[in-house]
Amino acid sequence: MNARLSPLLSPELLTLDLRATEHEAALREVAEPLRAHPDMRDYDRFFEQVIERERLDSTYLGNSVALPHARTSHVGRVVLAVGRSAAGLRFENCESPVHLLFVLGTPTSSPGDYLRVVSTLCKILASADNRAALLSASTPAAFLAAITTAEEKLFHAKN
């Protein structure tokens, strides 16, 4: 797999107006669209592992972003869903509210894929301009366009 996020995302995997206000409920709301993903083998077990990982240590990355994830045998390939909360969510041991949640599942058999996706995501989200574009996108199409634009800048800069 390449390091781009855009092939992993589609409008149905984006929840741009989270209703949940509690941490675990928000994770469930963001992850739920993955239940129907063709590469999801066992959604319930996958979600249990995401929650278990959250209990070990916060997945808050800073800059109002969290990356709840699981390396698991319950996905066939990398899966990703995104949620956005205008009000922000409180995560344990975090000073600022979380506005962007990226729920990631990667096969245990593909550690390289996990590292590539996390690396790309962190590089994109390190930019205040990219975060602002994702936070202000008014539609799923605009959100996906912001991801694609950020990827183009990132990968073009490497060449």
Instruction: Measure the CA–CA gap between 81 and 116, rounded to whole angstroms.
Output: 16
Give the three-state DSSP class for 34.
helix
Residue 94's CATH number: 3.40.930.10
Phi, psi dihedrals of residue 141, rounded to the nearest 5°: -60, -40
Q: Is 2 part of any domain?
A: no
Q: What is the pTM of this model?
A: 0.94
For residue range 40-74, what is the model confidence (pLDDT) as tens digits?
Answer: 999 999 999 999 999 998 888 989 999 999 999 99
> 34 is in which domain, residue-wise?
7-158
Specify the length of the chain in residues. 159
Q: Is 47 part of any domain?
A: yes
Q: Give the count of domains, the chain.
A: 1
pLDDT at residue 2 is higher than 80: no
